[in-house]
Amino acid sequence: MSDEFSHITVLLDEAVAALAIKPDGVYVDATFGRGGHSRKILAALGEQGRLIAFDRDPRAIEAGRALNDPRLTLVHEPFSEFATALDALGVAAVDGVLMDLGVSSPQLDDPSRGMSFRFDAPLDMRMDPTRGESAAQWLTHASVAEMSNVLRNYGEERFAHAIAKAIDAARQGGDVATTGQLAEIVAATVRTREPGQHPATRTFQALRICVNRELEELSLILPLAVTRLKTGGRLVVIAFHSLEDRIVKRFMRDHAKAPALPRGLPVREADRPQPPLNLVGDAVRPSEGEVRANPRSRSAIMRIAERSNARLSGGDAWHA
């Protein structure tokens, strides 16, 4: 099946440069999308190099098969299956992991995916339409309290309770089954909003994050990725909103700190345990030129960390 919805890869050169590619290395693109980063990684790899690309979206996996590169292995799984999938492939350790988080342009621009209020379509929102329940299905049974919590925590929506009550009232007359229905409900409830922002923007973001368990999946893969990185291997993460970036920033910061020792314990500085990660440079944002060419890149922020030679606690961790 051809893919008519294009995607412009964000921070393409910067992200692949941050991986510090070794020609014979093994790398993971945890979010294949339409393969922008993967293509550039493959171009930097030699014949003995290997790239393992994950994606939850079956259409992304199908697009990846068109590359027909023997060095590329495609994995149709969410982040939570990261370690299991690598084990199945016989891969104990990798030289770098790249994550380009969030939703892709093809997912937003395809009305059938139900992720955008720009089209009136079935309210689906799943990154993998073959698994789990859709946003419309979730709305049939979620309580007002559950909806309020999701809108507040995942959408940072200050009108969360009012919107949840409005959805509850609307579904008494039938399911809220389309993006158009939901957008109308929110627009009638939210009377004020930031200039240029649709009233339903935060609601749609919150439901998408909830349905796909995006923040939970991110929290799962970060420690898994660190356990699989070789010494000197890079962890590169591009986030697109504050909730994602907060998780990434805190994780890298906390794992770049040496473990705390009991107060008063006589330990020489040279003998102090190392943290598992070292931060690499400052956070990277798209250039003005990239934002002009691709406005969707404007909120992107990339953070980079490198695996130290410190041992990780836990019997199942891979050690450099």
pLDDT higher than threshold 80 for residue 117 = yes
**Does 317 have pLDDT greater than 50?**
no
Judged against a pLDDT cut of 50, whether residue 318 lies above it is answered with no
pLDDT of residue 127: 94
Of the pLDDT bands very low, low, confident and very high (cuts 50, 70, 90), residue 114 is: confident
- Higher-confidence residue of 115 and 272: namely 115
Alpha helices (H) in the chain, listed in sequence order: 12-18, 36-44, 58-65, 82-88, 105-109, 135-141, 144-155, 160-171, 179-189, 201-212, 214-228, 242-255, 288-293
Each residue's pLDDT tens digit, 185-228: 999 999 777 777 889 999 999 999 999 999 999 999 999 999 99
User: Is 155 labelled as part of a ligand binding site?
Assistant: no
Average pLDDT of 121-149?
Answer: 96
Confirm if 318 and 228 have CB atoms less than 8 A apart: yes
Looking at every residue in the chain, the average pLDDT score rounds to 90
d(CA 18, CA 302): 10
**pLDDT at residue 148 greater than cutoff 60:** yes
Amino acid at site 186: V
Task: Summarize pLDDT for 13-31 with one digit per residue, the tens.
Answer: 999 999 999 999 999 999 9
- Quick one: pLDDT at residue 316? 39
Whole-number pLDDT of residue 2: 44
Q: Check residue 197 and give its pLDDT.
A: 83
The response to whether 35 counts as a known ligand-binding position is yes
Q: Note the pLDDT of residue 273.
A: 72
* Domain architecture of the chain: domains with CATH: 12-100+214-307 (3.40.50.150), 112-212 (1.10.150.170)
55 is in an annotated binding site: yes
Cβ atoms of residues 205 and 154 within 8 Å:
yes
Answer yes or no: is 37 a known binding residue.
Answer: yes
